[in-house]
Amino acid sequence: MAHRIMLVPVGSGVGLTSVTLGLFRALEHKAVKVNFFKPISQPISGDKGPEKTTQILRNLSHIDPPEPFSLNYAETLIGDDNVDILLEEIVERFESHIKDDEAVIIEGLVPTKDQAYVNKINRQIATALGADVVFVIAPGNTTLTALEDQLEIAANNYGGFKSEHVIGTIFNKVNAPRDLKGNLANDFSEVLLENASKDDSVNYKKLSIFNKSFSLLGCVPWNSDLIAPRVKDLAEYLDAKVINEGDLEFRRLRSITVCARTVGNILGRVRPGVLLVTPGDRSDVLVAASLSAMNGTKLGAILLTGGFQPEPSILELCKQAFEKGLPVLSTKSDTWDTALLLQRFNMEVPIDDEQRIERVKDHTATHISESWIESLTKNVAKIRKLSPAAFRYNLTDKARKANKTIVLPEGNEPRTIKAAAICGKRGIAKCVLLGNPEEIMLVAEQQGVELNDNVIIKNPEKIRHRYIAPMVELRKHKGLTEVVAEEQLEDNVVLATVMLAQDEVDGLVSGAVHTTANTIRPPLQLIKTAEGASLVSSIFFMLLPDQVLVYGDCAINPDPSADQLADIAIQSADSAKAFGIEPKVAMISYSTGTSGTGADVDKVRQATEIAKQKRPDLIIDGPLQYDAAVMENVARKKAPNSPVAGQATVFVFPDLNTGNTTYKAVQRSADVVSIGPMLQGMRKPVNDLSRGALVDDIVYTIALTAIQSSQI
């Protein structure tokens, strides 16, 4: 039987859902089969629809957890002294849905003053399901001694610390801000956010209750980004009128400022992510905030109270700020009542907020004991396909271990700056931003981005002259002069490429602003191909919902010959393997096997044979049609003896037209995240970005580049 872990909350407001999602993500990272069960739903006031954690995991993973029993049904049986019947039904539902080779996370009930039976029923469920118990607790202002007492009382309910099924605890919301009474903050008011306590995690590790049988299994620090709701969530809660929609759907709120001051006294409060609450007749505040937004400060939103509507002339003055995406809302409540409503706003993540859920998962997962997670992978089946979550984790984990420095020539680009800060903070890579330091710092401030010691800013104007002689040396066979070299070095991509050639950095990432040609041309001229590589090609990592596929070549070679196509297949297979994907290479064509003829399909057939001869250790087959390569039922009909058909993980397209069209069609039609293009065959790693790249795309491309550098 695989592991059954029951998360039992010690007190309310401990962030049980966050810990559940984080533990689920941590197990996903290890590519193990994992499932979830919430025996009894426990909706909070205002909740509608299905149980939250169950629905989140249904929506954002490929499991189908059992439906929990309703709280009303459970309380009826408990009240009628029919607990045995309830437990039997819970066990029956669990056993009929959960497989023996799955690790299972079971979520206990939260104790409340109205549900005194919770502790007893949690114990009975844990016993009935044979689950190991892990306590989840939020320290708050509790002393270390009091924490020990709380955990000891909780453990005694399950047989004490010596019980083989009581294995440890996870501290959540460590160093969370507290109110004036020392209690955990339950909103995102400005005063509370400024009152975050120091990190006590080191002290928690020293508690005397921890021993070989009862361990500290996680210490998750509080993070303000995880409680940042979308403007639309607040608008729906307040039933607010939308004066300007702007980026209502995805702009996030990180603090609240209630403002009735003069303009001169509010400027220090106008910061990125702030919800500025002000009476609707304070046109001066609205205009001042709009001017700040026009100058680049990414405010969260403006909320006008009292039912007052700005005059058309005032709205016209603010038009440019509105066009930059500033949401403006209006509510009929006065400022005092609005402030009270904001204090009661539910800070739990909504089911449909996928971005925030992913952040919660990743943040929590990284602070759960890796050795414990590793122990949970024993006696559990592995997932054959590499999931996107496991792939992303492998990327960041390998990048951290590589400890490389990546140069970003588009140093003043907002997405690039934010990505560099994230990489630095998470230890993914050190990033060198090329650009004017004052301009970069201003953009960072406007975006609410804090640059750390792992982000290095270099002014091209002050360092460009150093690279004239090295560049002349690199291109002397082409007759490059100092004058022409100096001129070409005005291009930051060229400058970054010479820095890479001189081993001052380990890799280069560009393309958020520059075209693919502008990004790739300098490296092809100055870096050249790796030893043994006949060409430079590219792949995309396609993050499908349930697995990661590799597509190549989709960016570089217009019409490769059979020999070149074979090399692309080999390069792509090696890249897939390097990033944790078992390579099963499908050589794609309009025909499967010997059913078709013609120059194009003959080229693919020939390339397949060449690749097999060069690398007999690889699993390669072709020609295969795409449906035969990816669908098992089609494969059984069209290519029943193929070792690749129906289970391909690497797709090699016959030409650029086919490859580029296919990857974009899949990406856009299926709403699939694609990472790439990653260049293969270069002597040093250089990677291109899509000009529509998101911040996360840049982060993962930097990680890819760092890993490549460690493998070359």
Q: And the tokens for 515?
A: 């075209």
Please give the average per-residue pLDDT across 51-63, as a whole number: 86
Residue 689 within a domain: no
**Whole-angstrom distance, CA of residue 580 vs CA of residue 548:** 10
Whether residue 241 is found in the same domain as residue 197: no
Whether residue 319 is found in the same domain as residue 368: no
Residue 175 within a domain: yes
Which residue is associated with the tokens 């999602």?
Answer: 21
Q: 61 near 406, Cβ under 8 Å?
A: no
Looking at the DSSP bridge assignments, the partners of residue 303 are 277, 329
| pLDDT value of position 514 | 84
In this predicted model, which residue has the larger pLDDT, 295 or 155?
Answer: 155
Q: And the tokens for 499?
A: 């820095």
pLDDT surpassing 80 at residue 291: yes
| pLDDT value of position 192 | 44
Residue 382 within a domain: no
Q: 611 near 585, Cβ under 8 Å?
A: yes
Pairs from 235-241 (Cβ < 8 Å, separation ≥ 24): 235/327, 235/329, 237/341, 237/345, 237/346, 238/303, 238/329, 238/331, 238/333, 238/338, 238/341, 239/331, 240/303, 240/329, 240/330, 240/331, 241/329, 241/330, 241/331
Least confident of 338-347, 357-366, 649-658: 338-347
CATH assignment of the domain containing 300: 3.40.1390.20
Whether residue 665 is found in the same domain as residue 698: no
pLDDT surpassing 90 at residue 39: yes
**Whole-angstrom distance, CA of residue 131 vs CA of residue 36:** 13
CA-based end-to-end distance of the chain: 43
Closest CA to 659 of 591, 584, 559, 567: 559
**Whole-angstrom distance, CA of residue 401 vs CA of residue 411:** 25
In this predicted model, which residue has the larger pLDDT, 297 or 302?
Answer: 302
The pLDDT-based confidence of 363 (bands split at 50, 70, 90) is very high
CB-based contacts of 572: which residues, under 8 Å, 6+ apart? 537, 539, 550, 552, 553, 583, 585, 650, 652, 680
Closest CA to 418 of 437, 427, 431: 431
**Whole-angstrom distance, CA of residue 579 vs CA of residue 703:** 11
Please give the average per-residue pLDDT across 449-477, as a whole number: 91
Please give the average per-residue pLDDT across 356-379, as a whole number: 89
The pLDDT-based confidence of 178 (bands split at 50, 70, 90) is low
**Whole-angstrom distance, CA of residue 74 vs CA of residue 42:** 10
Whether residue 156 is found in the same domain as residue 14: yes
In the chain, what percentage of residues exceed pLDDT 90?
43
Q: And the tokens for 63?
A: 């499991």
Least confident of 112-126, 268-282, 541-555: 268-282
Least confident of 190-199, 221-230, 324-333, 379-388: 190-199
Cis peptide bond N-terminal to 312, omega within 30: no
Q: And the tokens for 83?
A: 């607990």
CATH assignment of the domain containing 607: 3.40.50.10750
Whether residue 274 is found in the same domain as residue 359: no
Please give the average per-residue pLDDT across 303-309, as a whole number: 88
Q: And the tokens for 485?
A: 């070299």
Please give the average per-residue pLDDT across 340-352, as a whole number: 86
CATH assignment of the domain containing 66: 3.40.50.300
Q: Return the number of other C-beta atoms located less than 10 Å from residue 485's C-beta.
A: 20
DSSP states of 13-28? SS-HHHHHHHHHHHHH
| pLDDT value of position 1 | 55
Looking at the DSSP bridge assignments, the partners of residue 104 are 4, 35
Residue 138 within a domain: yes
Please give the average per-residue pLDDT across 326-350, as a whole number: 88
Q: 219 near 204, Cβ under 8 Å?
A: yes
The pLDDT-based confidence of 547 (bands split at 50, 70, 90) is confident
**Whole-angstrom distance, CA of residue 647 vs CA of residue 584:** 7
Residue 686 within a domain: no
Please give the average per-residue pLDDT across 202-222, as a whole number: 85
Whether residue 459 is found in the same domain as residue 560: no
**Whole-angstrom distance, CA of residue 27 vs CA of residue 216:** 18
Whether residue 44 is found in the same domain as residue 178: yes
Cis peptide bond N-terminal to 139, omega within 30: no
| pLDDT value of position 194 | 47
The SS3 assignment for 77 reads: helix
The SS3 assignment for 94 reads: helix
Residue 195 CA, distance from chain mean position: 27
Whether residue 211 is found in the same domain as residue 252: no
CB-based contacts of 350: which residues, under 8 Å, 6+ apart? 229, 233, 356
**Whole-angstrom distance, CA of residue 589 vs CA of residue 255:** 54
| pLDDT value of position 383 | 65
Whether residue 484 is found in the same domain as residue 524: yes
Q: 535 near 644, Cβ under 8 Å?
A: no
pLDDT surpassing 50 at residue 191: no
In this predicted model, which residue has the larger pLDDT, 147 or 191?
Answer: 147
Whether residue 451 is found in the same domain as residue 544: no
| pLDDT value of position 710 | 87
pLDDT tens across 592-626, in order? 877 767 788 999 999 999 999 999 999 999 899 99
Q: Return the number of other C-beta atoms located less than 10 Å from residue 203's C-beta.
A: 12
**Whole-angstrom distance, CA of residue 146 vs CA of residue 153:** 11
Q: And the tokens for 238?
A: 């307040």
In this predicted model, which residue has the larger pLDDT, 288 or 707?
Answer: 707
CB-based contacts of 468: which residues, under 8 Å, 6+ apart? 482, 485, 486, 489
Please give the average per-residue pLDDT across 445-468, as a whole number: 91
| pLDDT value of position 45 | 65
Looking at the DSSP bridge assignments, the partners of residue 178 are 184
pLDDT tens across 675-688, in order? 888 889 889 999 98
The SS3 assignment for 378 reads: coil
Residue 712 within a domain: no
Q: And the tokens for 227?
A: 């409680």
The SS3 assignment for 108 reads: coil
The pLDDT-based confidence of 184 (bands split at 50, 70, 90) is low
Cis peptide bond N-terminal to 50, omega within 30: no
| pLDDT value of position 179 | 61
**Whole-angstrom distance, CA of residue 209 vs CA of residue 64:** 37
Whether residue 15 is found in the same domain as residue 135: yes
| pLDDT value of position 579 | 87
In this predicted model, which residue has the larger pLDDT, 23 or 697?
Answer: 23
| pLDDT value of position 182 | 56
CATH assignment of the domain containing 408: 3.40.50.10950
Q: And the tokens for 220?
A: 């998750």
Structurally, the chain folds into a number of domains equal to 4
Query: How do 405-408 and 430-434 pair as beta strands?
Result: parallel
Look up the domain containing 463 and give its range. 387-528+694-705
Looking at the DSSP bridge assignments, the partners of residue 528 are none
Residue 446 within a domain: yes
Whether residue 485 is found in the same domain as residue 412: yes
Q: 647 near 609, Cβ under 8 Å?
A: no
Q: 118 near 109, Cβ under 8 Å?
A: yes
pLDDT surpassing 90 at residue 431: yes
Residue 711 within a domain: no
| pLDDT value of position 318 | 86
pTM greater than 0.75: no
**Whole-angstrom distance, CA of residue 560 vs CA of residue 464:** 37
Which residue is associated with the tokens 């990125």?
Answer: 272
The pLDDT-based confidence of 418 (bands split at 50, 70, 90) is very high
| pLDDT value of position 189 | 56
DSSP states of 644-686? STT---EEE-SSHHHHHHHHHHHHHHTT-EEEEEEEESBSS-E
In this predicted model, which residue has the larger pLDDT, 192 or 301?
Answer: 301
| pLDDT value of position 201 | 61
